[in-house]
Structure 1
């Protein structure tokens, strides 16, 4: 039996239109994206196979482009569409803050950094440069490292703050391991950044660590 033989209410596309995207399983969402399966395997079965082999949706979507291209059932066309869809979703979630809305609410700020950094395969240290009303001037990825660390240079951070005429900043970096516990180096570099920026009257509002669970906030822990 193929998907065409399923009841209309159970076909992924029709089900999405009738009940909304949230009603679909991960495999069904992938099936809608894939459009068709392979010989002897419909689109839902192909979606299930991809999820099974990679341990779920997130590990699958974290694969680098070169690895996605090698996946059975994807190829160049589907891989490029998938990467474009992921970027569209990220931009949609970030759109309100990118257009200049205040970034003062800790929950919104944490969500923003999570969208930007959560699925990066290497550690990335980023900064949101804010004006005096805590509106976003620009978001920049300042330093990129390896799986377990990135070198951060306070002098370069100060230079970028002055270049953007920032009144305040929020820092964030990801832990590709998924564990958000801060290392001694994380806490030490945060203190160095706070001290360096205080000399030029720029406030550090928070430093987030992004992993698999809730985002860790230095401000909420009283570490700033």
Structure 2
């Protein structure tokens, strides 16, 4: 009996989440335990689970972790470049899974179709990202591109960059989308002005702007539905 207790005590903390995952499944693990599996090992002073807990405490929540840069991760004690890369790789895989339908043909029939397509990618970002969806004559999405990453409350986009990319893709029409880091999708006067500029430029080059979506946290607003297109 003493031998069994001693053996259990010798099991490294960072291995226990793996055992629990194998026995009970990933859904039974806490955020810290899942992060510990990605980290693989801790440090001389703390286990992988404790290190994962430190990361969560530093970033505040999983949403903030998604947007942490390599520099921000490596600033946490116990996280070097290798561990930071492991975390970034895991986060990127999660993002790609949510966007896996990019490999399938998606037809946009209503604003919600386009909003659903970009929602999970954009809703948690701390800075404004301006994304353009390129469509063919049947309203199938044939490509997407992030054309601008702005500050917390502004995104700088020039129509020529938008339509240069659209022409490169042989796009018949486009749908623009950008996120509001505040989570509130209410359009600003600048959003409305940009929408009108894009629509005017689209008329000149023969590529219609079907909509401009403002993405919040689980919500969106269509500027076309609001009468701005």
Range into which the TM-score falls when normalised by the shorter chain: 0.7 to 0.9
Match of 1:174 in 2: 179
Matched, 1:165 2:170: yes
Match of 1:94 in 2: 99
Match of 2:155 in 1: 150
Contact kept, 8 Å, 1:113 with 1:208, in 2: the verdict is no
Match of 1:4 in 2: 11
2:191 to 186, 205, 210: 186
Matched, 1:26 2:31: yes
TM-score by length of 2: 0.79
Contact kept, 8 Å, 1:98 with 1:136, in 2: the verdict is no
Q: Unaligned 5+ residue runs, structure 1?
A: none
RMSD (Å) for aligned C-alpha atoms? 2.9
Change (3 A) 1:216 1:79: farther
1-side partners of 2:165 and 2:148: how far apart? 12
Match of 1:203 in 2: 208
Matched, 1:41 2:31: no
Change (3 A) 1:101 1:181: closer
1-side partners of 2:83 and 2:223: how far apart? 40
Q: Unaligned 5+ residue runs, structure 2?
A: 1-7
TM-score by length of 1: 0.81
1-side partners of 2:40 and 2:114: how far apart? 35
Q: How many residues align?
A: 221
1-side partners of 2:20 and 2:113: how far apart? 31
Contact kept, 8 Å, 2:148 with 2:155, in 1: the verdict is yes
Matched, 1:82 2:87: yes
Match of 2:115 in 1: 110
1:52 to 57, 65, 73: 57
2-side partners of 1:3 and 1:28: how far apart? 18
Contact kept, 8 Å, 1:2 with 1:42, in 2: the verdict is no
